[in-house]
Every structure is written in C-alpha cells, then in structure tokens.
Chains A and B, each alone.
Chain A
Amino acid sequence: MKLRPLLFALSVSIAPLCANAQTCPSQTADEAAADVRSSFNAWLQAVEHRDLEKTMAIFSPSLRFQYQGVPDFGYDHLLAIYQADFSRPDAPIWRPNIENTIASPTLVTLFGEWTLMPAKGGDAIMHNRGVDVFQREADCVWRVVASLNYSDKRSVAVDSQDRRSPAEAKHNKLQPGRDGAIARVNR
C-alpha cells in the first residue's frame, strides 16, 4: 500500500516525457504558426552565426530528412553535415523564402523556396523547394520531424508560365558529387 503514492508520483513525473506535447498549453492554429515562424527565424540567425547547437535545436531527434538524389537520412547525419559545413570559412548559405504555411494547433507545415548563395555574395548557386513538417514535442518546443526537398526544375518545364527570370533559371543546375554535395543540404 505504501508503494502506491510513490508509483503514482513516478507515473505523473514520467508521463510528460512520453507523448507529443499532450500536456503543453493548448494553442490555436494561428498561435502555432506564429511560434513556428519565430523558431524558424531564430534558426536562421543560428545558421548565420554558425551556432551548431542552436542550429540543430530546431530538428527533432526523430527527424526524417528527404533530399532528392540521396538516401533519406536522420538527425545524426544532418548534424555531421552541419559540423562539416560550419567548419568551412567560405561555405555558401541557404536563404529561404516561405511560400506557404499550413497550421493546426499541433502540426504546422512550412512550404519554402531555398536559394543557395555564395558566402561573399553574388549570383545564386542553386534553387530548391521543399516542405518542413513541425510538431510540438514533449517539452512543448516545435521541431522539424520531417523535411522534403528537391531542386527547383521549373526552368525545364515546357509550360510557358514559368514565372522566373532567365537570371534565376540559369542557376538551376544541381550536380551532386561536386563540392556542393554536402553544402546543398545545409539548411
């Protein structure tokens, strides 16, 4: 009988660690979207400052990263990529443009365009598009649990409604295997 209070206390203390944010304060979809955008902006700053810890803080340990042309990978591989990338003094940097946010109180998706820019400025090296799926985890922090990314190929479309300028389209060549092979997942 004496064990019961102890077991109860133990179960109460462990429970919050288990599920996806089931004990977090409830949010509206708008609040969730605002939170995600805020942490996304903080992440951009972290990348700018090559702060590895804060850069990785936005990714869930259960992350599944999908990038066209390479096998899917997880958190550990992404960490290794950032470590290598941040050690390069002149590594190019990805600049995002959020195209679309679809939010619910517990799940948010960010659709974005990504442009790889040389560290010292100049024309874009590469354009990508993708989606990041955020979930609130047990500590109530929004993190990316899935990311899907591909090279933007609109310039090769037969469709005449390509909205990009020739200047944008000319940088549309993704050539894995060159020195960009690591840097291009740098986001």
Chain B
Amino acid sequence: MRPILACCALVCSVAWLPAHGDTCPAQTADEASAQVQAAFAAWNEAVVQKDLEKTMAIFSQSLRFQVQGSPDFGYPRLLANYSASYARENAPQWQGFVESVISSPQMVSLFTEWKLLPEGGGDPIKEYRGVDVFQRESDCAWRVVASLNYVDGATIAGSPGGYSPGPATVDSAKTRPRVAWREPVVRDLDFVFGHH
C-alpha cells in the first residue's frame, strides 16, 4: 500500500503546481500593468545591450509568435533568430514603444509600435504594430505567451522608395490617411524576426 500512497502523494503534489502564477501574491490591474511595463523596458534595454539571456527572459516557453508574412513559430525559433541577429555586426535593432495597455491582475495586453533602427542611428528602416499578451507564470514573472505583429501600413503608404518617418514625424503619420497602403513583402524573415 505504501508505494501506492506515495504515488498518490506525488500525483497530488504535481497537480498543485500552478499553471499561471496562481500562488503568486495578489496584484491589482494597475500593479500588473506597472510590472509588465517595467519588464518591457528592461527587455528593450537587453536588446540594446544584445544580452541574449535577458532578451529571452521575457518570453514564455509556451510562446506563440505571429508575424505577418510568416508561419507562426515558438520559443526555440525565436531564440535562434535572436542568436543569429546578435552575432551580426552592425545589425539593426527593433525597439518597442507602448501605445496602450489593457490590464487585469492575471493578464496584460500591451499594444505596441515597433521600429527597426539602424545600429548607428537614423530613420527607422521598418515599422510594425502589434500586441503582446503577458501572463504571470509559476515563478511569478510576467512573460509574453502570445504575440501578434504586422507591418504598419502608415509607414509604407504612398512611398515607392520605402519612406519611413523619423521619430519626430511619427505622431503626424498616425493621422495621415492610410488608404494608399500596399502589400508588404517579407523577404528576409530573420531580419524581420529580430524585433522580439
């Protein structure tokens, strides 16, 4: 009987492992929002520093990553993309800018704009928009479990030469009619994927 009881105890103990931060200290939606934005800011800094470990720390192992023009992928491929990107000299870097936050104590949706910036500075090469869904995992860290990203139509509207507005003009670009939008063509996936 004892081995059976031991097995039962093991099963019971495993069953209690929290899936999504169930045993973490309670937070308000505002606290959750603040923690996620802090994690996001730290992640941006990690990207600037090309710190692979800290870069990947914000992503859940169960991540589902969706980017326009590519099949969905998960954590391992994202890791490979970052590893390759950080190994390149003078690789451009994606930087994120928070547009809005919708938060609850257990989940936060971060709506963002993304700019691919040349290593030496200058105008953005590409701009995307997207949303990252954060959940608190069993270690109480907030991580991205799902990410959806697409080319910002405003930045390629009516621009045969691929014009991208600089940071100072982005606000006015938002109010510009985007009816001249044309299809983006994703040619260099690693180049695109570097953003997260």
Contact = CB atoms under 8 A, between A and B. Distances in A.
A102 to B, nearest CB: 5
Contacts of B100: 64, 146
Interface in B159-196: 174-181, 183-189
A69 B153 contact: yes
A148 B108 CA distance: 15
Interface string A151-187: 1111011110111000000000110110001000000
Nearest to B148: A131
Interface string A11-32: 0000000000000000001000
A70 B153 contact: yes
A148 B185 CA distance: 20
Contact of B102 (A100, A107, A151): A107
B69 A176 contact: no
Interface residues of B, number: 46
Nearest to A153: B69
A124 B184 CA distance: 21
Contacts of A177: 179-180
Given A148-B111, A157-B186, A104 B177 contact: no
Given A104-B107, A107-B107, A150 B150 contact: yes
Nearest to A135: B102
Interface of B: 29, 64, 66, 68-71, 100, 102-109, 111, 129-131, 133, 135, 145-146, 148, 150-154, 157, 174-181, 183-189
Given A133-B131, A148-B130, A158-B187, 12 more contacts: A69-B157, A69-B181, A70-B153, A71-B178, A100-B146, A104-B135, A135-B102, A148-B148, A153-B69, A157-B70, A157-B189, A181-B179
23 contacts: A68-B68, A70-B153, A70-B177, A72-B174, A103-B107, A104-B105, A106-B104, A106-B105, A107-B103, A107-B106, A109-B133, A109-B146, A131-B133, A135-B102, A135-B104, A146-B111, A148-B129, A148-B148, A153-B68, A153-B186, A156-B184, A157-B70, A159-B189
